[in-house]
Copies of this chain bind each other. A is one copy, B any other.
Amino acid sequence: MAKKFLGIHIIAELHGCDPVLLDDEKYITDILLQAAKDTKVTVVDYVTRKFDPQGVSVVIIVSESHIAIHTWPELRYAALDFYTCGEEDPESAVREVAEKLGTKDFVLFRAERGNVRKIRNINSKIKEIGDADKRSEQIQILL
């Protein structure tokens, strides 16, 4: 059966992580590259950045889209994105990354990207729950 969308984008909000791990550029790079491997995506290139006094960003471009993390050790928080158009669902790899960062509390959002029909579906659902500020082409999703 043909897929009805082009890619799965998992948007993960990771709270209560280990602050030492969140500040470890090499560790974070390694676990994301492992997540890429586990999801059988092809790494094209990646960029890492250690911020002063703290925080790390790692963005990996894969043939199938991208993986990105930005960390705030002082808040024990990390924002993780894993977007892939490959065959493997990235959710278990995202959960593995959360686990490896000692995450206590996390929320995953799954977005099926490249699917007009479903955009229209969620639009009607949002309309039903009444979002006053919504413009016709825009949905406010407040995380």
Interface residues of A (CB under 8 A from B): 5-7, 9, 11, 13, 15, 44-47, 49, 51, 57, 59, 61, 63, 65-66, 68, 70, 72, 75, 77, 79, 81, 83, 85, 105-116, 118-119, 121-123, 125, 128-129, 137-143
Contacts and interface: CB of A to CB of B under 8 A. Distances in A.
A111 B10 CA distance: 13
B143 A115 contact: yes
B143 A119 contact: yes
Classify the secondary structure of A's interface with B: strand
Contact of A129 (B106, B109, B129): B129
Copies of this protein chain in the complex: 2
Given A72-B114, A129-B129, A139 B49 contact: no
B142 A121 contact: yes
B79 A13 contact: no
Contact of A6 (B72, B122, B125): B72
Nearest to A78: B114
B79 A6 contact: yes
B75 A114 contact: yes
A6 B73 CA distance: 13
Contact of A77 (B6, B15, B140): B6
A115 to B, nearest CB: 6
